[in-house]
Structure formats: C-alpha cells, structure tokens
C-alpha cells in the first residue's frame, strides 16, 4: 500500500510541475514534509478546474458530477483508484480538512458551468469557494493539528487566497471574457473597461495582500518561506498589472517571465534566511 500511496502523490507532483512553475517553486521551498500534501491539494483543484475550463468536447456537468462523487467516495472509503483523488483523500483524512471546504470549492467549480456574470454576493461566494478554501486546506496542513494556530491565521489565509484569485481574474480577462464569456468582477463591462474601474479593483486587492502578509509572519518557519514566495510572486505580478493600462490587460495576458521567477526565489530565500520578511 505504501508504494501505491507514493505513486499517487507522484502523479499529483507531476500535475503541479506541468501546470504551474510558480507554485512548484513555492512548494519546493516548504519543508519536505509538506511537499506531498500540498501537491495533492493542487492536483485535486487543478483537475476540477480543468473539467470546467478545458473539456469542451465532453459533458462537463456529468464529468464534474462524477468527479465530485468519486471525491467523497474516496474520502469515505479512504482509497481511490484515481491517483489524484487517492492522494487528496490521504491529505483530507490525515489533516482533518473540513468537508465543507471541499463542498464550497466544488460548488464554485459548478458555478463556472453556468454562471457568466456575478453580483456582489455571488462574487464573494465564488472567491471563497474557488480560492480562499484552498488556502484554508493548505493551512490545515501547515498547522499540523494546532487548532489555535489555525483559527488565528484563518482570516489572513482567506485574504491571501482572495488576492491570488483576483489577480488571476485581472491577468486572465482576455481568456475569461472573450473565450469563455465570463465576467467575474461585479458591474464591470470589459468592452469598456476604464482606468477608474481598474483602480477600484486594485485597491481591493491591495487590502487583501496587506492583511495576508500579517498572517504569513505568523506561520511556522517550516511553511513560511514557501507561502511568502507565492505572495512575492503574485505581488510582483500585481504590480506589473497595475503599471499596465486597462485596455492592455483587457487584451493581453500579463505574466512574469521564468527568469524573473527564479530571481524572486533567490531574493525571497535570502530575505527569509536573514529575517528580513
């Protein structure tokens, strides 16, 4: 059984490495004991997201429904022949990740199947389910059963997930709006996206980043560097987006080049090493 468990974690690691160089870098700077659990969480959320964003030639609703059912069956029975779901259930059961976090995430994925514009309430619900709960799952891992620490860091972890997701929305306006017909930000018309609307969104994101930073300082040392690296990467992406016009980000995907990512990794490591966070 140990070999089976090991190979399923390996599958989630390969998925993470293939889909996200930035998160792979972040995970590698965590303590080794956290690598497999975070790979498993990422593999789970990435495959669910793929169902709703990529599998256009298939019945997405049916696929997501089956994925959801298989997820809960795997968690209950503590085994799944789907390697992504098996490694995920191991993490859920080992770190006692609340099922309501999983349910909220899967509900947000379902919303992507039929929701194309968002009111304020639905927007907040989507942000919580698609991003904040992922941060809370990882926080459960980092706290290793310390409920006092979890409760203290819970709100900053939510803010970090919220900041990441909103930056993603700004970065992906072109693909979300033009290719998928989605407008996540309430009341925004991306056919006439103004500089003032962009500034309002950016102010909201900056507040999330500021709140999240205080929580990062309270993380265990074994998790702090990896989370801080992800924070630094997204903060730099956010700064780059802020320096672009509203019309440019509506028509172009802004990114951080790989060589810049490695430079951020090195700089972040030394700031952490010498307690300059």
Q: Which parts of the chain fold into alpha helices (H)?
A: 2-19, 21-28, 35-53, 60-77, 83-95, 99-114, 120-127, 133-143, 147-171, 173, 195-217, 221-242, 246-249, 258-273
Per cent of the chain over pLDDT 70 is 92
Q: How far is CA 154 from the centre of its chain?
A: 15
Q: pLDDT of 198-224, one tens digit each?
A: 999 999 999 999 999 999 999 999 999
Dist CA 212 CA 195 (whole Å) = 26
CB count within 10 Å of CB 203 equals 9
CA-to-CA separations, 274 to 26, 115, 151, in angstroms, rounded: 18, 46, 28
Q: Which two tokens stand for residue 117?
A: 């514009």
Q: pLDDT of 128-153, one tens digit each?
A: 999 999 999 999 999 999 999 999 99
**117 pairs with which residues across the strands?**
183
Question: What does the longest C-alpha to C-alpha distance in the chain come to?
Answer: 57
Q: pLDDT of 5-20, one tens digit each?
A: 999 999 999 999 999 8
3-class SS of residue 183: strand
According to the model, what pLDDT value does residue 190 have? 80
CA-to-CA separations, 72 to 76, 86, 217, in angstroms, rounded: 6, 11, 34
According to the model, what pLDDT value does residue 274 have? 45
Closest CA to 136 of 149, 154, 160: 154
Q: What CATH number has the domain spanning 2-273?
A: 1.10.600.10
Q: CB of 120 within 8 A of CB of 150?
A: no
Q: CB of 8 within 8 A of CB of 82?
A: no
- pTM comes to 0.90
Q: Where are the domains of the chain?
A: 2-273
**Would you place residue 229 in the very low, low, confident or very high pLDDT band (cuts 50, 70, 90)?**
confident
Q: CB of 13 within 8 A of CB of 40?
A: no
Q: Minimum mean pLDDT among 201-215, 218-232, 262-276: which range? A: 262-276
Higher per-residue confidence, 275 vs 29: 29
Q: Minimum mean pLDDT among 92-96, 134-138, 141-145, 271-275: which range? A: 271-275
**Would you place residue 189 in the very low, low, confident or very high pLDDT band (cuts 50, 70, 90)?**
confident
Closest CA to 157 of 98, 213, 238: 213
């Amino acid at each position: 059984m140990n070999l089976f468990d090991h190979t399923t974690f390996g599958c989630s690691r390969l998925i993470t490495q293939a889909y996200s160089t930035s998160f792979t870098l972040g995970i590698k700077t965590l303590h080794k004991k956290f690598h497999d659990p975070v790979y498993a969480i990422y593999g789970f959320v990435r495959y669910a997201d793929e169902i709703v964003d990529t599998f256009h030639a298939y019945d997405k609703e049916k696929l997501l429904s089956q994925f959801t059912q298989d997820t809960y069956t795997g968690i209950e029975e503590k085994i799944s022949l789907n390697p992504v779901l098996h490694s995920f259930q191991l993490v859920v059961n080992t770190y006692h990740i609340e099922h309501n976090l999983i349910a909220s995430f899967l509900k947000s994925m379902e919303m992507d199947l039929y929701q194309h514009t968002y009111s304020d309430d639905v927007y907040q619900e989507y942000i919580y389910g698609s991003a904040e709960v992922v941060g809370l799952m990882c926080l459960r891992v980092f706290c290793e059963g310390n409920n006092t620490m979890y409760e203290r860091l819970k709100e900053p972890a939510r803010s970090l997930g919220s900041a990441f997701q909103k930056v993603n929305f700004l970065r992906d306006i072109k693909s979300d709006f033009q290719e998928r017909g989605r407008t996540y930000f309430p009341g925004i018309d991306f056919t006439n996206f103004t500089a003032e609307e962009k500034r309002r969104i950016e102010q909201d994101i900056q507040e999330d980043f500021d709140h999240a930073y205080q929580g990062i300082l309270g993380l265990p040392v074994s998790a702090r560097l990896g989370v801080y690296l992800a924070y630094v990467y997204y903060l730099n992406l956010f700064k780059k987006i802020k320096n672009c016009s509203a019309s440019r980000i509506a028509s172009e995907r802004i990114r951080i080049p790989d060589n810049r990512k490695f430079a951020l990794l090195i700089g972040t490591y030394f700031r952490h090493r010498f307690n300059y966070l």
